[in-house]
């Protein structure tokens, strides 16, 4: 029988779209940030079981829970106006730990210029679903669906740090070299709110997405939504802290750590090459890492060989 | 050690309020509907384990999940503009069951004049957290904190049906007499959106709350927030379907079924007695069931004896 597990999260949202009533435009039924009567809104869940690596504190878990949703607003270019949290927590959980989760969400909200407004707490297995609300402030929202053949593809910062950090924790490595920073990037991801606002304000961006599911998954999502392909050049990918060390120890190409893992919070965006100056003058740091073409989904050129970028491991 | 379970949900929100940054007014940090930069928003969670009585379908569970949040908007007097759902579901769950949950949420949203816009689905133990967004349309929001000594207390409809329905299912009774309607009221609660809109528009309501946690818990919440007491007259409480039968079979007073159980979706509100005509002309059906006084919390007068209404069983 077809189950949620076999269909997967992306497959499920397609099915839901096919059966539920479509909301009035410009709203659309999606697992991304959506426009609800002029309010940009999105929700994302994290669970103790799947999203709490060894050694992560409850405060860091709370921060990450808020960051996951706020990052979806960033990808659209919205300015956050507030967050709400639905917590399902084991009844035996010490109150101090619960307050640490809330404190982490609050600090992340503060770092994004906004506040925790409320929520709901019920007994459960250990999860936090954060709803983030935002405002486009009269800018045009950036979608996943606007990438066009010939566009350049860029990312706002180095990749692979969270993957290297995760491998460091999982394998019990000493956090030497860049691995300490790698673990920090896994624990305290920073939603790129200001950069999203600047990119949407530039008027030059044709599509944008955050990398919380990893570059491969994100790139394929944009390819699907835009009906295009994308070719990345491995040597152009900016390498995050600890990637070289982790790559060597694991015996896997650095490019795999940079493309196949989640937990990244940089933005990936596309723009017509002739608009490069607009992107430069926006003040957002970026690295061009590939271009949009008519090929089949997202591919990586590595040592002169082209291979499909498959959906990530996480 | 003090845990989430020993402190309880109401106690926890007090602690959170004491530690997290307060949002800018008129926003406030609460587990009720809140004002987020002019948008009324709330989130509520239901779980398979705690909120899915025997025989409830996944479609009904989805309806109930949406109703729980939409009812919080109703209590404030907001018009819903959209809902989002965070689902945590067992990977082995058949896709058809997942779509049934979504369909139930969608139908409930439709019954309230709004749409499902999006959400997130992750592997988990089985829960749905629905965020509802709404608009006051220039009316003043109804709060829990405005009840004043001398106000009348009213409810919008009969009480105890969901409790009788739950007891019917739990005890395996034949759904005779009113029990069939009682079970239906448990399975498909109707958020009182239009009545909330009309009540807030009347300008005569001093406080309002929904009864999803039961009359006793709701009344005590209003007493706490308003710094008042409330005396209910048992013989005034409008009796829901199946209450007489269930009361007789269980050997408990009907008033207990009508006050100590949750799953009700009627509204309870207070108003100055001299404004009775405004409430009448609003067109909202109501029953006056007591009055606000300076006593200690919510109490029930039953057979000439006054007793505390304790927080409900659910």
- CATH at A83: 3.30.1330.10
Q: Searching chain A, which residue's CA lies closest to the CA of residue B25?
A: A117
Which of residues A71, A106, A135 is at a domain's end?
Answer: A135
Query: Which regions of chain B does DSSP assign to beta strands (E)?
Result: 34-36, 39-47, 79-89, 116-123, 127-135, 152-155, 207-210, 229-233, 267-271, 287-293, 298-302, 305-308
pLDDT of residue A262: 86
Query: How many structural domains comprise chain A?
Result: 2
B25 — contact with chain A (CB < 8 Å)?
no
Residues A129 and A160 both lie in one domain: no
**Across all residues in chain A, what is the average pLDDT?**
95
> What tokens were used for A17?
């779209």
Residues B162 and B224 both lie in one domain: yes
What backbone torsions phi and psi does residue B141 show, to the nearest 5 degrees? -65, 145
* DSSP 3-state of B244: helix
Q: Is residue A104 part of a domain?
A: yes
Q: Confidence band (pLDDT; 50, 70, 90) for B177?
A: confident
B16 — contact with chain A (CB < 8 Å)?
yes
Residues B164 and B274 both lie in one domain: yes
The CATH number of the domain holding residue A214 is 3.90.650.10
| A312: pLDDT strictly greater than 80 | no
Residues A188 and A296 both lie in one domain: yes
Q: Is residue B24 part of a domain?
A: no
Residues A43 and A183 both lie in one domain: no
Residues B248 and B131 both lie in one domain: no
Task: Say yes or no for a CB contact (<8 Å) between B123 and A24.
Answer: no
Q: Pick B47's closest partner by Cβ from A91, A124, A135.
A: A124
Q: Is residue B278 part of a domain?
A: yes
Tell me the pTM.
0.94
Residues A86 and A226 both lie in one domain: no
B8 — contact with chain A (CB < 8 Å)?
no
- Are the C-beta atoms of residues A128 and A242 closer than 8 Å to each other? no
CA of A23 vs chain B CAs: smallest distance (Å): 6
Q: Confidence band (pLDDT; 50, 70, 90) for B262?
A: confident
A1: how many CB neighbours lie within 10 A of its CB?
8
Per residue in A185-195, pLDDT (tens digit) is 999 899 999 99
Q: Confidence band (pLDDT; 50, 70, 90) for B314?
A: very low
A82 — contact with chain B (CB < 8 Å)?
yes
Q: Which residues contact A268 (CB under 8 A, 6 or more apart)?
A: A153, A154, A155, A156, A208, A209, A210, A211, A215, A218, A219, A222
pLDDT of residue A54: 81
What backbone torsions phi and psi does residue B170 show, to the nearest 5 degrees? -65, -35
CA B240 – CA B234 distance, rounded (Å): 13
Q: A with B: how many residue pairs have Cβ under 8 Å apart?
A: 261
Q: Is residue B314 part of a domain?
A: no
B126: how many CB neighbours lie within 10 A of its CB?
20
Which residues are bridge partners to B152 per DSSP?
B271, B291
| A304: pLDDT strictly greater than 90 | no
Q: Is residue B213 part of a domain?
A: yes
Q: Is residue A258 part of a domain?
A: yes
B182 — contact with chain A (CB < 8 Å)?
no
Residues A108 and A172 both lie in one domain: no
Q: Is residue A1 part of a domain?
A: no
Q: Confidence band (pLDDT; 50, 70, 90) for A9?
A: confident
Q: Confidence band (pLDDT; 50, 70, 90) for A310?
A: confident
- Specify the DSSP element, H or E, that contains B66: helix B58-76
pLDDT of residue A314: 40
User: Average of pLDDT values for A4-27?
Assistant: 91
Residues A98 and A172 both lie in one domain: no
Residues A49 and A187 both lie in one domain: no
Residues A162 and A294 both lie in one domain: yes
Per residue in A98-144, pLDDT (tens digit) is 999 999 999 999 999 999 999 999 999 999 999 999 999 999 999 99
The ipTM, to two decimals, is 0.93
Q: Is residue A303 part of a domain?
A: yes
Residue written as token pair 């009906």: A227
Task: Say yes or no for a CB contact (<8 Å) between B89 and A4.
Answer: yes
Q: B-contacting residues of A 123-142, CB under 8 Å?
A: 123-125, 127, 129, 131, 133, 135
CA of B73 vs chain A CAs: smallest distance (Å): 13
Q: Confidence band (pLDDT; 50, 70, 90) for B312?
A: low
- Are the C-beta atoms of residues B69 and B130 closer than 8 Å to each other? yes
**Across all residues in chain B, what is the average pLDDT?**
95
Task: Say yes or no for a CB contact (<8 Å) between B19 and A103.
Answer: yes
| A311: pLDDT strictly greater than 70 | no
Q: What sections of chain A are H helices per DSSP?
A: 4-19, 48-51, 58-76, 95-111, 161-171, 179-187, 193-202, 215-226, 243-250, 254-259, 276-282
DSSP state letters, B267-314: EEEEE-GGGHHHHHHHT---EEEEEEESSSSEEEEETTEEEE-PPP--
pLDDT of residue B191: 97
User: What is the span of the domain harbouring residue A35?
Assistant: 31-135
Task: Say yes or no for a CB contact (<8 Å) between B117 and A34.
Answer: yes
Residues B185 and B224 both lie in one domain: yes
CA nearest A189: which of A263, A269, A242?
A263
CA of A142 vs chain B CAs: smallest distance (Å): 17
Q: Confidence band (pLDDT; 50, 70, 90) for B311?
A: low
Per residue in B185-221, pLDDT (tens digit) is 999 899 999 999 999 999 999 999 999 989 999 999 9
């Amino acid at each position: 029988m077809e189950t949620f597990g076999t269909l997967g999260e992306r497959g499920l949202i397609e099915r839901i779209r096919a059966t539920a009533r479509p909301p009035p435009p410009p709203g659309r039924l999606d697992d991304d940030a959506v426009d609800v009567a002029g309010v940009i809104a999105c929700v994302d869940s994290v669970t103790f079981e799947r999203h709490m690596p060894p050694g992560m504190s409850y405060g860091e878990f709370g921060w990450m829970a808020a960051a996951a949703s706020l990052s979806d607003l960033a990808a659209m270019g919205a300015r956050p106006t507030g967050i709400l949290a639905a917590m399902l927590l084991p009844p035996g959980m010490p109150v101090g730990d619960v307050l640490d989760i809330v404190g982490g969400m609050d600090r992340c909200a503060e770092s994004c210029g906004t506040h925790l407004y409320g929520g709901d707490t019920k007994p459960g297995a250990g999860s936090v679903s954060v709803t983030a609300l935002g405002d486009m402030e009269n800018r045009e929202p950036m979608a996943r669906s606007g990438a066009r053949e010939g566009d350049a593809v860029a990312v706002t910062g180095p990749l692979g740090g969270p993957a290297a950090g995760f491998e460091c924790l999982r394998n019990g490595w000493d956090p030497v070299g860049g691995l300490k920073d790698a673990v920090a990037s896994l624990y305290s991801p920073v939603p790129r709110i200001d950069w999203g606002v600047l990119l949407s304000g530039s008027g030059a961006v044709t599509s944008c997405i955050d990398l919380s599911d990893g570059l491969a998954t994100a790139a394929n999502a944009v390819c699907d939504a835009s009906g295009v392909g994308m070719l990345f050049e491995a040597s152009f990918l900016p390498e995050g802290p600890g990637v070289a060390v982790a790559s060597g120890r694991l015996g896997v190409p650095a490019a795999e750590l940079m493309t196949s893992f989640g937990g990244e919070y940089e933005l990936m965006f596309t723009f017509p090459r002739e608009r490069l100056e607009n992107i430069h003058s926006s003040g957002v740091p970026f690295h061009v890492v590939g271009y949009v073409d008519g090929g089949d989904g997202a591919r990586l050129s590595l040592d002169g060989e082209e291979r499909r970028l498959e959906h990530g491991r996480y």
